[in-house]
Amino acid sequence: MDIQFYGANCITLSNKQVRFVFDDNLAQLGAKSIVKPGDVCLFSSPHPELMPETKMVIDMAGEYEISGITIRGIQTRAHMDEETERTAIMYKITAGDVKILVTGHIFPKLSESRLEEIGMVDVMLVPVGGNGYTLDPVGALQIIKQVEPKLVVPTHYADSALNFEVPQQDIEEAIKTIGFEQGESVAKLQYKTPEISITQVVVLQKS
């Protein structure tokens, strides 16, 4: 699948049959929504807004299969939840041999049962902006060490084109804190399960 980044926590996963759009709240941040008719829209928290032209809207835990691709929504603790709350949804996407995890704004400590549910991950997309709004680079690093993906794609960092409620961490500083080897920055990630011996960070250029 092709992975593209549009700012904030908004990404797309697509192939010739379907396009999945994750956390498109760009209109709330002063930009333009990227959702098109026929898209499958997924949100990491409850999304009451109606989106009639989309193929499907998913904002809750469960298992879904669309165009031969399996999606598992995993309920977990959000970054700002109390200890007993579980208001965030992570998404594990399995497309052939490729396994992708979209974490969203989660708490940086996953239980053993959640890690078992996640299983092996090739590509993980994780916010790094911090300042109380989402995971900061230290929290992101905690998640990376727990999940042990092959590739890490940072999301939700400082962007002069978006009006964040609170300032977000610069991507350069976030990568320094995360500390893993950085691969080449690309406009589109096309992952095909190469042999990678150590975790790498890939920065996606904004589409």
Which of 11-15, 81-85, 201-205 shows the lowest mean pLDDT across its residues? 81-85
Name the percent of the chain lying above pLDDT 90: 81
pLDDT at 184: 79
pLDDT at 71: 97
Tell whether the model's pLDDT for residue 48 goes beyond 80. Answer: no
Question: Mean pLDDT over residues 144-169, rounded?
Answer: 95
Residue type, 205: Q
Integer angstrom CA distances of residue 52 from 26, 35, 37, 153, 201: 18, 11, 9, 30, 36
CA–CA gap between residue 44 and residue 145 (Å, rounded)? 21
Tell whether the model's pLDDT for residue 56 goes beyond 80. Answer: yes
pLDDT at 53: 80
CATH of 60-201, one of 3.40.50.1820, 3.50.50.60, 3.60.15.10, 3.40.50.300: 3.60.15.10
pLDDT in tens, 179-189: 887 877 899 99
Domain ranges (residues) in the chain: 60-201
Q: Could you tell me if 189 and 12 are in contact, meaning their C-beta atoms sit under 8 angstroms apart?
A: no
CA–CA gap between residue 203 and residue 153 (Å, rounded)? 6
Of 207, 188, 110, which Cα lies nearest the Cα of 149? 110
Tell whether the model's pLDDT for residue 69 goes beyond 90. Answer: yes
Write b or e for each residue in 79-102: b if 16 or more Cβ atoms lie within 10 A of its Cβ, otherwise e: beeeeeeebbbbbbbbbeebbbbb
Q: Is 2 strand, coil or helix?
A: strand
Question: Mean pLDDT over residues 93-102, rounded?
Answer: 95
